[in-house]
Structure 1
């Protein structure tokens, strides 16, 4: 959704309610396509005070992520609060203010960037996810495997001798 902010550019105090729902199929992040399970719902206000335009909004959606440990897909509900500041004045020295170069503010772009920024670094289907077996690739959440767990990297084999009980 794009908001025309010509009247906000004139330095007048102004407030406008923003509420919309839109569909997005996927979003690319870190070489991975992340799917949306539910539409993105945005509600809040856009206001102007002096040269600064403020967007305060709540964003709700649900994503389908891939677990970093077991590689299974899982749903990740996302509720985030936006508080973004914009200005047309390029001489403002506040690093938290985004400089605008036209009279339209694309809120969907701001929302999608915020969604990407709030994604967890390590995406886990659950805190106690066991992951995959390093040898056979079995998902250890679903079944156990018979692989030897004491396989040691040959470069570190001498260290094992230091800690042996013999």
Structure 2
């Protein structure tokens, strides 16, 4: 959905409702490919206040991502509220607004950048994900393994038997 900023600023009715659905293409985020599972739904309003256009919207969609610990895919719901301020006047550059260069505001681009900025850095399928075994690579959420998982720093290996050889 594209909106001409100058039309919204110059009109008598200075608001426009947004009810928009669109497909987000696959994208890469920190080395992982993220696949949208549903259409992105945007609902809200765009209003103008003098030379500034304010967009307030609710964004919902679902994404398929890979867990950072166990590498399984999982569904991640997006449900965010966004508020952005735009202007087509370069003199307003210092007023915490995004300058729209060609007078055309592409809502899809704004929504996509807000979705990307809302993604967690560490993407987990569940908060208590056990991850993969460091020895055999088994997914510890689905199976257990018989590997020796004593996480001992080899620098402290000498101290391992310290309490066993204690004389009373």
User: Would you say same fold, with TM above 0.5?
Assistant: yes
TM-score, scaled to structure 2 = 0.88
Aligned match of 1:104: 104
Determine if contact 1:86/1:98 at 8 Å carries over to the other structure. Answer: yes
Instruction: Give, in whole Å, the separation in 2 of the partners of 1:14 and 1:71.
Output: 48
The count of residues paired between Structure 1 and Structure 2 equals 163
Q: Higher mean Cα deviation, 143-152 or 30-39?
A: 143-152
Aligned match of 1:141: 141
Determine if contact 1:12/1:48 at 8 Å carries over to the other structure. Answer: no
Task: Give the superposition deviation at 1:70.
Answer: 0.3
Determine if contact 1:46/1:56 at 8 Å carries over to the other structure. Answer: yes
Instruction: Give, in whole Å, the separation in 2 of the partners of 1:152 and 1:117.
Output: 37
Aligned match of 2:89: 89
Out of 148, 158, 161, the residue aligned to residue 159 of structure 2 is 161
Unaligned runs of 5+ in 1: none
Unaligned runs of 5+ in 2: none
Pairing 1:7–2:3 present: no
TM-score, scaled to structure 1 = 0.89
Q: Residues 120-139 of structure 1: matches in 2 within 5 Å?
A: 120-139=120-139
Task: Give the superposition deviation at 1:150.
Answer: 2.0
Runs of 4+ in 1 over 4 A off after TM superposition: none
SS in 2 for 1:91: helix
C-alpha distance 19-162 of structure 1, shift in aligned 2 (>3 A): same
Larger radius of gyration: 2
SS in 2 for 1:136: coil
C-alpha distance 37-103 of structure 1, shift in aligned 2 (>3 A): same
Instruction: Give, in whole Å, the separation in 2 of the partners of 1:116 and 1:163.
Output: 50
